[in-house]
Structure 1
């Protein structure tokens, strides 16, 4: 049997807030707090995959210093919009 959805959300929230760099803690943690509860299975899968990426890469994607891989483009755009507002 797989991980219960609420356990998965809890794990992902903790992972979003404990990145290793304060900038990514704030960006991903804030996003998780605002969006995890409403995510469906596909969105959870995408966010979970994003959380597995390196902070340095994530920061470059979010700040526009580098283009994210296509599979993360929409999610990074949401993160970018959140940090700009």
Structure 2
């Protein structure tokens, strides 16, 4: 997979920016995890979910990858319903194993 498979034509500016950022994190594994989730969910996320996803985008790749894979415990302030959705999405749909 080389990047987004979702068109951003129907998205508002904020969602387009989030989608782009989700696919351009720096670490390819995190591009795939965050980007695939964004492709699938960006159109349906509430404003609160968008804010939480933006907050997750700011977390370093190494930390976020550790939380998602269970290598390191997720800090309580990041263990939100949206994070659990992201983690579950990766666990149940991802062909990549990180």
The TM-score bracket by the shorter chain reads 0.7 to 0.9
Contact 1:61-1:68 within 8 A present in 2 as well? yes
Which consecutive unaligned segments of at least 5 residues does structure 2 have? 1-10, 93-98
Matching residue of 2:85: 78
Cα deviation 1:15-50 (Å, max 9, x = unaligned): 000011111000000000111111111111000000
Of residues 6, 24, 27 in structure 2, which corresponds to 1:21?
Answer: 27
Which consecutive unaligned segments of at least 5 residues does structure 1 have? none
* DSSP 3-state at the match of 1:37: coil
TM-score relative to the length of structure 2: 0.76
Of residues 14, 26, 32 in structure 2, which corresponds to 1:8?
Answer: 14
RMSD: 1.4
Aligned residues, how many? 81
TM-score relative to the length of structure 1: 0.87
